[in-house]
């Protein structure tokens, strides 16, 4: 919710003199993207399944649905094809395509776990409780694709994948169109939510290009599991976008891809002047399995092309907050050098001269087990709009390890570097904890408005003899600042209150009067809670109250990251608990049920022809259970006397039959 961003803003605004002439980034405005499940009172229900349903063909059901319809698919059933999402102009609300057994899946605001057990014999794990959408087209068409101006579709509890016979898949969910067919904003599809879905490729393919493409407006991917997107010799992404304006929310997902786990840009936008904007990326787990790493003990034998974890080739007002980004290694010559994050403007050979990477906030993330940290090119070889207003705040960079994950060129810029940077303006790096094997900076070109404050990092000599704040052609420290960061002075305190473990104080004599920095010889001299066990629990990298650097930052807080903020940022709370959302479980076997009278006042009667043990519950529109019980009777009463007037949902379990019914109470 937007309140989360406002809270974050209160965390990241710093008012010391070092920041007074440097502009902080604007945060994304994503308030229009509503992720909570809507109130479905008054919605029509269409069932789709192999037998005894309204439809057996999913495309026919989609074509027949108006806005304000729930399309309920039998859990465990398979729906083959590529399905088209038309533009609907009749009705109000959403078209919701969902599994019939949402009661067996994760609750709202909780990430799906395909292998998690359900306790149900018929549907033993969450994957089994999903409806399965499988593209069988060997030319690579997606499971879902949109028509021009399609809008208001929500996907819930679906497994979305490609048949093993599909060797080249070019994407599974195409929301919008990146081609020249979508060349104006008036054509852009809008309002999509992918909610608690399992979207995955398979290992039999050469190309599994992407899970979801966001070439649309106003869309969210939430609480989902997106995995096995990988290619040989090509990029592959869990989530990508080129030709969609935003706003977007990508929240609380597992994201796995060999190329870029999330990428915006990578091709020229067909809509003139378009830059994806207002993008909120929070609480996700970016991951590359070790089974993809050639030479690792768990390597599975297929050499997918490895690039990075998060990349912006274009994008404005982007928030990357509260995520875990884990595992990235060099894979040259076809892949990249092992960086976790790339902020690299690309004008695509002049096809996107408007490309820009500005107003970027990277905060409260944990980045670990990578060959290098961040590479940041402020222009595309002098082309594009210069990057500006970027803040890297309160992150933990752990095991940034050139020897283990880098490109083996110890004399290059990618061997365990924290940040490779040039040609950018107004870049704030503040309150980070960084454990890297290489230099802190590799400044390949000048930057103005650069701030490096309150950070705790390694500053040992690398295998290539680089150290600390460094830029090619000069020594670290004073000389690097004079050549690459020319507007930083001792007086303006833009290089201030940093702890540089193993650093050489003699190289930073220009910053030891008004500016104060610290150079302990080893981690043992810092005062960590338990540095040796930090890899087991990152809280051990926090400072003790007796550390010399406790409450010693320019804002009187600990130097380095605030681990309480890291914890808070990872909590998935979007405020959906107070919404009038009802996610219903629908019958999987037909049973003759009658409910009377309805509307009712004091008592309502339920009659079934099923002799099995019956459970029932009545919930109000906030999903609170107000009446519940069991019975073995074929006809039984439910007392309603204590209930206020209103609409309720009566859920019945009769043997293997599950049904939901709306009940109106009028007392």
Which pLDDT score is estimated for 183? 96
Closest CA to 292 of 209, 227, 339: 227
Rounded Cα distance between 508 and 490, Å, is 10
Which pLDDT score is estimated for 588? 40
Structural domain count, the chain:
2
Any domain includes 628: yes
What are the beta bridge partners of residue 227? 200
Query: For residue 557, what are its two tokens?
Result: 């807080």
Rounded Cα distance between 365 and 323, Å, is 5
Rounded Cα distance between 631 and 612, Å, is 9
End-to-end Cα, the chain, rounded Å: 38
Rounded Cα distance between 552 and 456, Å, is 12
Q: What is the CATH number of the domain that holds 655?
A: 2.60.40.3080
The backbone torsions φ and ψ at residue 528, rounded to the nearest 5 degrees and listed phi first, read -75, 160
Query: For residue 422, what are its two tokens?
Result: 């040039």
Strands (E), 223-331: 225-229, 237-241, 248-251, 254-257, 260-264, 277-282, 285-287, 308-312, 315-321, 324-328
Q: Domain containing 189: what range?
A: 43-246+252-288
Which pLDDT score is estimated for 585? 44
Which pLDDT score is estimated for 616? 84
Rounded Cα distance between 399 and 283, Å, is 20
User: Which residue stretches of the chain have pLDDT < 70?
Assistant: 1-20, 572, 577-592, 609-613, 621-623, 654-658, 667
Neighbour-count burial of 298, counting CB atoms closer than 10 A to its CB (0-12 exposed, 13-18 middle, 19+ buried):
exposed
Any domain includes 315: no
Q: What is the pLDDT of residues 513-523, one digit of tens each?
A: 999 999 999 99
Which pLDDT score is estimated for 641? 85
Rounded Cα distance between 622 and 582, Å, is 7
Query: For residue 382, what are its two tokens?
Result: 């002098």
Any domain includes 264: yes
359: left (phi over 0), alpha (psi -120 to 50) or beta: left
What are the beta bridge partners of residue 199? 160, 226
Which pLDDT score is estimated for 658? 62
Closest CA to 462 of 414, 498, 426: 414
Any domain includes 67: yes
Q: Other CB atoms closer than 10 Å to residue 291's CB: what's the count?
A: 14
Any domain includes 272: yes
In the block, residue with structure tokens 């933990």: 396
Any domain includes 383: no
Rounded Cα distance between 51 and 575, Å, is 38
Helix (H, G, I), strand (E, B) or coil at 130: coil
Any domain includes 439: no
Any domain includes 507: no
Closest CA to 172 of 191, 144, 205, 195: 144
């Amino acid at each position: 919710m937007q309140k989360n961003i406002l809270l974050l803003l209160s965390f990241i605004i710093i008012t010391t003199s070092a920041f007074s002439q440097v502009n902080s980034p604007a945060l994304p405005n994503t308030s229009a993207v509503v992720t909570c499940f809507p109130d479905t009172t008054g919605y029509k229900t269409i069932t789709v399944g192999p037998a005894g349903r309204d439809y057996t063909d999913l495309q026919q059901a989609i074509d027949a649905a108006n806005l304000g319809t729930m399309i309920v698919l039998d859990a465990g059933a398979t729906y083959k094809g590529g399905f088209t999402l038309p533009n609907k102009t009749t009705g109000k609300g959403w078209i919701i395509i969902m599994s019939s057994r949402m009661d067996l899946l994760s609750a709202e605001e909780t990430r799906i776990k395909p292998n998690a057990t359900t306790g149900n014999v018929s549907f033993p794990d969450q994957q089994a409780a999903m409806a399965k959408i499988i593209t069988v087209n060997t030319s690579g068409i997606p499971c879902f694709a949109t028509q021009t101006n399609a809008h208001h579709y929500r996907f819930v509890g679906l497994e979305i994948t490609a048949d093993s016979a599909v060797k080249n898949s070019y994407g599974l969910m195409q929301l919008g169109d990146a081609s020249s067919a979508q060349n104006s904003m008036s054509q852009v599809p809008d309002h999509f939510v992918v909610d608690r879905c399992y979207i995955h490729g398979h290992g039999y393919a050469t190309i599994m290009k992407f899970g979801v493409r966001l070439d649309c407006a106003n869309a969210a991917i939430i609480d989902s599991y997106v995995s096995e997107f990988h290619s040989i010799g090509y990029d592959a992404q869990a989530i990508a976008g080129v030709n969609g304006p935003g706003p977007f929310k990508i929240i609380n997902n597992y994201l796995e891809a060999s190329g870029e786990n999330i990428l915006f840009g990578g091709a020229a936008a067909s809509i003139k002047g378009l830059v994806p904007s207002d993008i909120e990326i929070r609480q996700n787990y970016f991951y590359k399995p070790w089974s993809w790493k050639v030479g690792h003990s768990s390597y599975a034998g297929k050499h997918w092309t490895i690039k990075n974890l998060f990349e912006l080739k274009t994008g404005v007002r982007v928030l990357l907050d509260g995520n875990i980004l884990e595992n990235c290694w060099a894979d040259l010559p076809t892949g990249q050098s092992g960086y976790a994050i790339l902020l690299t403007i690309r004008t695509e050979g002049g096809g996107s001269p408007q490309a820009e990477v500005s107003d970027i906030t990277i905060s409260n993330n944990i980045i670990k087990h990578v060959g290098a940290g961040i590479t940041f090119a402020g222009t595309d070889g002098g082309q594009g709009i210069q990057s500006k207003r970027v803040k890297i705040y309160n992150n933990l960079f752990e095991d940034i390890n050139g020897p283990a994950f880098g490109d083996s060129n110890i004399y290059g810029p990618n061997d365990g570097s924290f940040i490779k940077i040039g040609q950018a303006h107004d870049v704030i790096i503040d309150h980070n904890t960084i454990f890297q094997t290489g230099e802190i900076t590799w400044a390949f070109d000048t930057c103005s408005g650069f701030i490096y404050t309150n950070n705790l990092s390694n500053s040992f000599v690398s295998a290539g003899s680089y150290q600390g704040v460094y830029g090619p052609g000069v020594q670290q420290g004073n000389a690097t600042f004079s050549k690459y960061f020319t507007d930083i002075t001792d007086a303006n305190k833009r290089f201030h209150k940093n702890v540089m473990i193993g650093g050489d104080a003699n190289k930073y004599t220009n910053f030891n009067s008004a500016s104060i920095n610290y150079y302990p010889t080893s981690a043992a001299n810092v005062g960590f809670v338990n540095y040796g066990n930090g890899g087991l629990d990152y809280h051990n990298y926090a400072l003790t109250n007796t550390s010399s650097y406790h409450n010693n930052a320019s804002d009187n807080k600990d130097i380095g990251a605030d681990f309480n903020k890291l914890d808070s940022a990872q909590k998935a709370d979007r405020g959906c608990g107070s919404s009038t959302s009802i996610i219903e479980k629908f019958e999987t076997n037909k049973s003759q049920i009658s409910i009377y009278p309805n509307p009712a006042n004091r008592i309502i009667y339920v009659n079934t022809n099923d002799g099995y043990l019956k459970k029932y519950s009545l919930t109000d529109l906030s999903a609170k259970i107000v009446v519940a019980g069991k019975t073995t009777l074929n006809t039984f009463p439910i007392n309603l006397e204590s209930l206020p007037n209103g609409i309720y949902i009566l859920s019945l379990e009769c043997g293997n039959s599950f049904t939901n019914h709306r009940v109106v109470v009028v007392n």
